[in-house]
Amino acid sequence: MKTYDEKHIKNIVLIGGAKSGKTTLAETMLFEAGLLNRRGTVEDKNTVSDYHEIEQERMNSVYLTTMHTEWRGFKINIIDTPGMDDFMGEIVSAMKVADTCVMLINGQHGVEVSTELVWNYADQFNKPVILAINQLDHPKANFENTLESIKKRFGSPVVLMQYPVNQGEEFDSIIDLLKMTMYKFPKGGGKPEKLPIPPEEEDKANELHNELVEKAAENDEELMELYFEKGSLDEDEMRKGLKIGMMKHEVFPVFCLSAKQNMGSGRLMGFIDNVAPAAFEMQPEVTTEGEEIACDPNAPTSLFVFKTIIEPFLGKLALFKVTSGTLKVGQDLVNNQTNTTERFNQLFILDGKNRNNVEQLVAGDIGATVKLKDTHTNQTLHDKGVSFAIKPMDFPDPRITTAIKARDKNDDEKLAEALREIHEEDPTTIYEYSRELKQMLLKGQGELHFAVTEWKLKNIHNIDIEFLRPRIPYRETIQKPADASYRHKKQSGGAGQFGEVFLHIEPYYEGMPEPTDYNVRGKEEIELEWGGKLIFYNCIVGGVIDARFIPSILKGIMEKMEEGPITGSYVRDIRVMVYDGKMHPVDSNDISFKIAGAQAFKEAFIKADPKILEPIYEVEVMVPEELMGDVMTDLQTRRAIILGMDSKGFYKVINAKVPLAEMYKYTTSLRSITQGRASFSSRFSEYAPVPMDIQQRLMKEMQEKEDEK
């Protein structure tokens, strides 16, 4: 395979909502470049992308897929991505290494919620964006409404490169405003005929062409002077201006497509070749120390691993971008994070599941290798003698949590190992065992994300699992002061056990004054790992309890705070004064005072008007305006407090505070209410008291469990 230099490599990522046609466009681009003799389809399950069994089963992209074309002297690396926000981790990985985003907009629906979500990352990475209105051959296509939604969302940088002469089932002609030519496609698509612009379209085309010229000129002073001097710009000058504008995020060119009919893809590829920036023209990669790594093939070699794929029979495949230098077969690089040396015995260019062996890859190129011993996603490898790490990707925080367990207890260890592998492939799939809740928790982006995890566990790892409702991490506290004492006495023939503790407890809040009713001999302020504080005072006078037993009393209290008296949840924000007690010269020991302290604390806690606190989350829902009422009604049934509403393009953003206990399976409910046209994010806000009826129910459930024991 031919080796391309850094000036002739273009890296693009196809992004957009589900069913916008990304996989179909990728297939068409490979076909148009002659790398395929026949185009596959998603329906026939034979596309180069979407080759995984689960993708073919669901007929939707689940993973990012890398491919390449060779087009008019350039190599175009293409990364196809999923359209569902459940798989946002794949999109983030792809955007990290792409140099231009091609955002597909469904010509039937215009800008959708999923478009908005993907755009936020494109904007965050500050990558040039090409907008492609696809499916203009669909009977319900509406170019004008779609363009209006684009302009309303993305503003003045939007500029038309093309517009359709017709649309719907008769779609076959596009007027190109850069070349001022009409492309007329044969029935079924393919190579178009280049024709003059029809007389009835000349005025419209000229007006839009002038807008394009102005947009190209305004991004460069030299071009602006030329424009004022000549009154226009030639094609090369316009391309230069458009490239500068795209790199500044001040130009978003709009193209017309029917990827399914192969109409407009060749012209899009030509624009990518001629205008879209190559890696060496982009801003240099930045290290964790803020240093810049130029895309220079003559510099020390470095690469960034953006994706890991674990194939059941082939092992671990690492996908990477060469950030500097030239990587050759047999070369050794050092992993900056682990300090281990890795040898690259094989180098590949991937086209879906097909591997094309290459001898070297230059700066800016994307490739893959196998059998790296200790290298993972988000890590940097470089030549010996240099040391730096490329700034890692920030993956989205989990949005939902479920409990997970193997149906067969013998698979517990196997399940943990399988989840480790799944996390290796997809860092947004997070698992952990909660000691507090006594459950294995799985965290992810949505119900579909979990469904894919379940499929992998069953079909790849041969583990049957079930999802359970996760327990809620409640907290317990008190609302008034209380006193209690407890005597622990045990005699069993030899040395016995004896300890008696008197203590006072009260609610704690920041800034409260020190106690004055007790003779404080010592104080410990403990920041609890589960939040809140315990303030412990030793107020013993006269030696009624030896000082060596005070830590044991505190230990007993802490153990009881880890399993609260009301629901077994963690206890927080309490002040304890140990002020009296008794001991025995022979029978008193640490265990006696630990038990006495724990039981005295429990009795005082029950007297102190205990209160259960529940976690409250800030929830942000982005929804079409016409569906806002239904979403708000559903939120209110979940005990939500609506904080306010904002606008974002065509969408409304609802801000609310919702108890975590009411958020279980919210993604499913939201998708059902809005037909998948809304999305949400959430983050922990605070702990707040539960309503009394819920507290009574929780206390009853705890009592029933105790009775069963």
Q: Are residues 14 and 159 in the same domain?
A: yes
Of 583, 608, 633, the position where a domain reaches its end is: 608
Burial class (CB in 10 A: 0-12, 13-18, 19+), 675: exposed
Q: Are residues 597 and 624 in the same domain?
A: no
What is the pLDDT confidence band of residue 599, given thresholds at 50, 70 and 90? very high
Contact 656, 635 (CB under 8 A): yes
Contact 365, 77 (CB under 8 A): yes
- For position 493, what pLDDT does the model report? 66
Of 608, 633, 652, the position where a domain reaches its end is: 608
Q: What is the CATH number of the domain that holds 502?
A: 3.30.230.10
Q: State mean pLDDT over 74-96.
A: 94
Span 263-277, pLDDT tens digits:
999 999 999 999 999
Span 545-596, pLDDT tens digits:
999 999 999 999 999 999 999 999 999 999 999 999 999 988 999 999 999 9
Nearest of 432, 424, 333, 311 to residue 376 by alpha carbon: 424
Q: What is the CATH number of the domain that holds 368?
A: 2.40.30.10
- For position 119, what pLDDT does the model report? 85
Amino acid occupying residue 413: E
Statement: the pTM of the whole predicted model exceeds 0.75: yes
Q: State mean pLDDT over 694-707.
A: 86
Nearest of 478, 500, 503, 480 to residue 488 by alpha carbon: 500
Residue 208 resides in a domain: no
419 Cα distance to chain centroid: 17
When the pLDDT of each residue in the chain is averaged and rounded to a whole number, the result is 93
Q: What is the CATH number of the domain that holds 257?
A: 3.40.50.300
Residue 454 resides in a domain: yes
Q: Are residues 517 and 630 in the same domain?
A: no
Q: Are residues 275 and 290 in the same domain?
A: no
Contact 385, 332 (CB under 8 A): no
Residue 206 resides in a domain: no
Helices (H), 479-549: none
Q: What is the CATH number of the domain that holds 628?
A: 3.30.70.240
Q: Are residues 364 and 413 in the same domain?
A: no
Q: State mean pLDDT over 343-362.
A: 94
Amino acid occupying residue 402: T
Q: Are residues 31 and 46 in the same domain?
A: yes
Span 251-264, pLDDT tens digits:
999 999 999 999 99
Q: Are residues 68 and 151 in the same domain?
A: yes
Q: Are residues 190 and 129 in the same domain?
A: yes
Span 211-242, pLDDT tens digits:
999 999 998 888 888 888 888 888 899 999 99
% of the chain residues with pLDDT over 90: 82
Q: State mean pLDDT over 426-436.
A: 95
Nearest of 67, 129, 75, 140 to residue 104 by alpha carbon: 129
DSSP string, 219-277: T-HHHHHHHHHHSS--HHHHHHHHHHHHHTT--EEEEE-BTTTTBSHHHHHHHHHHTSP
What is the pLDDT confidence band of residue 303, given thresholds at 50, 70 and 90? very high
Amino acid occupying residue 146: T
Q: Report phi then psi at 21, rounded to 5.
A: 100, 25
* Lowest pLDDT segment from 214-218, 261-265, 310-314, 343-347: 310-314
Could you give the strand order of the β-sheet that contains 252-256, starting from the edge strand earlier in sequence? 65-71, 74-80, 9-16, 100-106, 129-134, 252-256, 158-160
Span 103-154, pLDDT tens digits:
999 999 888 877 888 888 888 888 999 999 999 999 999 999 999 999 988 8
Q: What is the number of structural domains in the chain?
A: 5
Q: Which residues contact 183 (CB under 8 A, 6 or more apart)?
A: 173, 174, 175, 176, 192, 193, 194, 195, 264, 267
Q: Which residues contact 511 (CB under 8 A, 6 or more apart)?
A: none
- For position 61, what pLDDT does the model report? 94
Domain membership of residue 677 as a residue range:
612-694
